[in-house]
Chains A and B, each alone.
Chain A
Amino acid sequence: MGAIVEIRDLSKVYERGKQRVEVLHHVNLDIEEGDFVALMGPSGSGKSTLLNLIGGLDSPTGGTVAVAGKRIDKLSEDALANWRASNVGFVFQFYNLLPMLSAQKNVELPLLLTRLSAAQRKRHASTALELVGLAERAAHKPSELSGGQQQRVAIARAIVSDPTLLVGDEPTGDLDRQSAVEILTLLRELNRDHGKTIIMVTHDPKAAEYALRTLHLDKGTLVETEESPTRERSEALRA
């Protein structure tokens, strides 16, 4: 399979007053379609910044980012928003669900930007909730769900519009071990059974084991790539 994410010579500099902080230095990276990549590294290594640039949440200072052949590094704010709506699903550490909406309505959020009817939106959201095993909690508000269940709702929201990429910033960082395992298993199933390309930032080596490949960043530079032992098994299964 070809590279779905192509990053060339990517740099990101933050200006803090008179100080210039270069967070990413000339990063080059290809991520294949159907891959499950873990981004690891110490705090301040630039992994979240790299994820934000791939997900179109931020714009680079230099270099290029292309996703599915489309350059996103020079898109305007509105064009980037439209691109995110149809190409990326986001999963955050603290779930970031809207507290006043039910699980069902939270999952429907990205579909509000499409031309789908209310009935179609409802049907799609129900399917996504079913996929993450929470169909029976559709009417519950986030405050009525456990952390693991809230993260499942967030994953359902991320996949409901069938995006090209699924990106997660510490998706298990706020969960207990058991819930974390459930979420990681779910992500692996989405990758293996549904072909979703997933990029996940994590501090946890155990979480990274669920990925097919682990990239290590240090001081804004890619320093190491590790193939997971599960990769071969996964590819064999797909074949």
Chain B
Amino acid sequence: MKYFHLIWAALFRRKTRTLFTLFSVLAAFLLFGLLDSVRSAFAVGSSSVAAAERLITVSRISFTLALPKSLLARIQAVPGAADVTYANWFGGVYQDPKNFFPSQAVADNFFDLYPEWELAPDQRKAFHDIRTGAVVGATLAEKFHWKVGDKIPLQATIFPQKNNSNTWTFDVVGIYHVADPNLRGQENNFFFKWDYFDEARQFGNGTVGWYVVKLADRNRADQVAEAIDALSADSDHETKTESEQAFMAAMMGQFADIGLIVGTIMGAVFFTLVLLTGNTMAQAVRERIPELAVLKTVGFTSRTVLGLVLGESVLLLVLGGVAGLGLAGAVVSAVRTSLPAMGPTSPMVPVGEAIWLRGLGLMVLTGLVVGALPALKGMRLRIVDALSGH
């Protein structure tokens, strides 16, 4: 630490150049934080169902294919399944196609399985009793100035009614809240009763989009998932049971290979960063050759000079990187608050300990890579030549 002031002073010897380089590093690690947050969300999703709290059962062929409602009783009978509910994607829009938000037809007991979505008992009862009842998230209600008692017409994009009308009218009977301010994005959902939906829709009657299973023991998730999928083995509606996160990942995976896209972008960003900061460091050390020679003259060993230049390079990356990751954390938090969630999970995870550790590792590694050549140059310089300007 006694050399820190030397490293700091060398880094800010040319303030403008260093600040521009710091901004580049900041931008690179801002991108890293955002992309790693997305990648982590999908990585969690694709991991084992072990220790999941809730399982989602969908068609093995595609989550867009429906499953028979008759499966409900059989899933309820699976040992380890504490409670089961179901839902169906509706995909309606309000007044204008741009007013799209997640809308789903759900079973009466749906909110029993999502205690994190707080719904007043009288509103829960109203949802149970009123056939056209709908429960909306507080953020969504605020956006469109909806309140309990309003009639809301949604235009169906998939399911017309039996009378060929695409307009479905619902009565807002409840508004749910999410306690965690970081998860306000989950308040953008619109739920209505599956019974009404199933009676009135033109096709697909008697089927549901997916089942949600609450586990009696979260550590037995693997066994329960296997038992549920065994119910439909060799049938025309084979199922795949996975954790909520895996379900989200599979949904998004239909559109693109998130890992590949994220990896490619990050690779390009860091390749550019290495070239840019490498050039800055090389230039900075070239300008300071006589000063490094002075350090050696007064007794600094070659290894210490090597360490000083590498330290400077790592410090440059860490300063810019920490600022970038900090900013990414704020942006992810804001996005998670405002982004409508497809369900209880978000396509971004908070910039937490794991992303910070990966980011810090990447900062140090990039710092060592870009500092290596200039540091070797500094280490190998001959004092006599350097001081005489050769």
Contact = CB atoms under 8 A, between A and B. Distances in A.
Interface stretch (A60-68, A84-92, A131-139, A187-195): A84-92
B377 to A, nearest CB: 16
Interface string B286-314: 00001101111111111100000000000
Interface stretch (A32-40, A96-104, A173-181, A212-220): A96-104
B271 to A, nearest CB: 31
A52 B384 contact: yes
B384 A58 contact: yes
Contacts of A105: 5, 9
Interface in A154-190: 157
A75 interface: no
A82 B2 contact: no
Contacts of A92: 387
A100 B384 contact: no
Interface stretch (A106-114, A145-153, A223-231): A106-114
A81 B302 contact: yes
B302 A78 contact: yes
B3 interface: yes
Max count, chain A CB within 10 A of own CB: residue among B2, B9, B297: B297
A101 B300 CA distance: 17
Contact of B387 (A96, A99, A113, A118): A96
Given A57-B383, A96-B387, A84 B5 contact: no
Nearest to A99: B13
B290 A100 contact: no
Contact of B295 (A52, A58, A78, A109): A109
A188 B290 CA distance: 28
Nearest to B2: A112
A98 B291 contact: yes
A113 B297 CA distance: 12
A85 B297 CA distance: 8
A91 to B, nearest CB: 11
Contacts of B9: 98, 100-101, 105
Contact of B297 (A57, A77, A78, A101): A57
B266 interface: no
Contacts of B296: 81
B301 A82 contact: yes
Contacts of B10: 100
Interface SS of B by simple majority: helix
Contacts of A96: 290-291, 293-294, 297, 387
A85 to B, nearest CB: 2
Contacts of A110: 298-299
B307 to A, nearest CB: 13
B301 A78 contact: yes
Given A57-B297, A57-B384, A77 B291 contact: no
B65 to A, nearest CB: 67
B297 A90 contact: yes
Contact of B299 (A58, A84, A98, A100): A84
A157 B299 contact: no
B285 to A, nearest CB: 14
A113 B6 CA distance: 13
B12 interface: yes
B378 to A, nearest CB: 14
Nearest to A83: B299
Contact of A98 (B294, B301, B303, B383): B294
Contacts of B297: 57, 84, 90, 96
A84 B295 CA distance: 11
A157 B297 CA distance: 12
12 contacts: A58-B383, A81-B296, A81-B300, A90-B297, A96-B387, A97-B294, A98-B291, A101-B5, A101-B6, A101-B9, A112-B6, A113-B299
Give the 6 A-B residue pairs with the shortest CB-CB distance, closest first.
Answer: A85-B299, A100-B9, A110-B298, A81-B301, A96-B294, A100-B13
